[in-house]
Amino acid sequence: MRLHGYTTALLLIACLALPIKAQTSVATPPAEKAALPYANMPPAAHPYAGYRAPYQEWYVQSDTLDYAGAARSEPDPDTASLKTINLGFLGPLDADNEDSPYGIAMLHGMQLAIAETNAAGGFHGTPFALCIHDDLALWGASSMAIVDMRFNDQAWAMLGSVDSSSTHIEVRASLKVELPIMDTATNDPTVTQTLVPWLMHNFPDDRQQGYALADYMVQQRHLKRIGILQVNNRYGRAGKEIFAQTIRRMGHSAVVEVWYGADSQDFSPQLKTIRASKIDGLVIWGNAPQAALILKQMRALGMQQPVFGSSRICYPEVIQLAGPASEGLVVISAINPTRTDPAWQSFRQRFNDRFHAEPDPYAAYAYDGTKMLMAAITQAGLNRGRIMDALRSYQMKNYAGVSGNAFFDYTLNNIAPVTFAQVRSGKFVYWPEQRTDWKPKSATNGQ
């Protein structure tokens, strides 16, 4: 049968979109049941769970990120000739970039980690140094930044970025420049699904947040008519889609999905649409300042339904701006800042002493990620292939950091249970995700 050019193109795109292993494993017999479901997926959210077991599961094999390239054979430099051991940073820093608060916090966390490691001797007496690159709002600019880090800065590894588009570009560039990437801020879970063996991700991504929120709202709160209000950017679209997909698999499609612009101040058109849909719970996927305005305008319209939200809403700013309208709000939190363990309390104090501010999740995960990078360099030496091998050794292991306990799967993604927070009497009260369907038995401390 002859195929027209358009049909042929669609078939080609579909083939290219498949994971590489999927194209070479079609005849593989059914895999053994994985020790953990991919990405810590709730049982109720498994695709077709009520019909049949999957023939093949991806991303749960120990060889998922195997690397067979030549980076390990690169000769090590003469350490005595190096004045510094350079690390790259890519994050949004310009005040005009809406993500700059997260990028600045991330930079501060990295700066503190490097300063402390250098005070303890650095890399066998040679200090680590930071090569800073601003992640511009211009799509594609990060591809040049990673090339500059690798060849001009001679960086041995890098940390970044917040924007998922930039991080996807980094990952693809790393296939050529072979530079280890520690991703401590991106929410997009597809970053680790590329199967590029040069990236490690330690921040609770949208998949972890969406699964946890869906499990809590549907399985625990038993809400059925759920509405979604999301900011119209990549952060909002990606997070909303995972949450919406998960509740669909649980048998409760969202009854209404609406979006708002990144600079919106008046949400009455969206809220009136939501009100007419007679929801019994609303999810906001966006940032704290606009979530506060939504809460105030929602309550002013007489809408008293419970409200839930993503981790970027879990900031004191939402309570300060929304006041009583924020009472009862439930959100995902990337950290529990009320922890009393010595590691967190000491980090808070040291961060506050240096930057005169409380550390947020982006600072805490950047600090942990930088510590992991420097430990990998110290362990492996100055060879980028071996450095990435050292990071890859964290698969199926715990890492106890200042941000909490991380657990990395075979894609090097942190799939540890997240934290919930609720506004009660004008302040956030935190508790761990209440799921007992998985316990990583083979975990060891990765620190």
- Establish how many alpha carbons lie within 13 A of residue 385's alpha carbon, considering only the half-sphere containing its beta carbon: 12
Would you state the pLDDT for residue 68? 93
Taking residues 205-226, what's their average pLDDT?
A: 95
Of the candidates 112, 111, 92, the one whose C-alpha atom is nearest the C-alpha of residue 185 is 92
Tokens of 256: 């209404």
Say yes or no to pLDDT of 20 above 80: no
Taking residues 109-113, what's their average pLDDT?
A: 98
Taking residues 383-398, what's their average pLDDT?
A: 97
pLDDT tens column, 223-250: 999 999 999 998 999 999 999 999 999 9
pLDDT tens column, 160-210: 999 998 999 999 999 999 999 999 999 999 999 999 999 999 999 999 999
Band (pLDDT 50/70/90 cuts) for residue 439 is low
CA 119 to chain centre: 30
Tokens 């991703």 -> residue: 183
Tokens of 54: 């999957």
Band (pLDDT 50/70/90 cuts) for residue 11 is very low
Domains of the chain from N-terminus onward: 71-204+339-416 (3.40.50.2300), 207-333 (3.40.50.2300)
Tokens 């402390």 -> residue: 116
Cis peptide before 161 (omega within 30 of 0): yes
Would you state the pLDDT for residue 436? 53
Question: Distance between CA atoms of 238 and 259, rounded to whole angstroms?
Answer: 12
Taking residues 328-336, what's their average pLDDT?
A: 97
The set of residues, in sequence order, having a beta carbon less than 8 Å from that of 149 and lying 6+ positions away, is 88, 90, 131, 133, 155, 158, 179
CA 173 to chain centre: 19
Please answer whether residues 36 and 438 qualify as being in contact, where contact means their C-beta atoms are separated by less than 8 angstroms: yes
Would you state the pLDDT for residue 13? 33
Say yes or no to pLDDT of 18 above 60: no
Band (pLDDT 50/70/90 cuts) for residue 273 is very high
Range in 48-57, 154-163, 237-246 with the lowest mean pLDDT: 48-57
Would you state the pLDDT for residue 435? 66
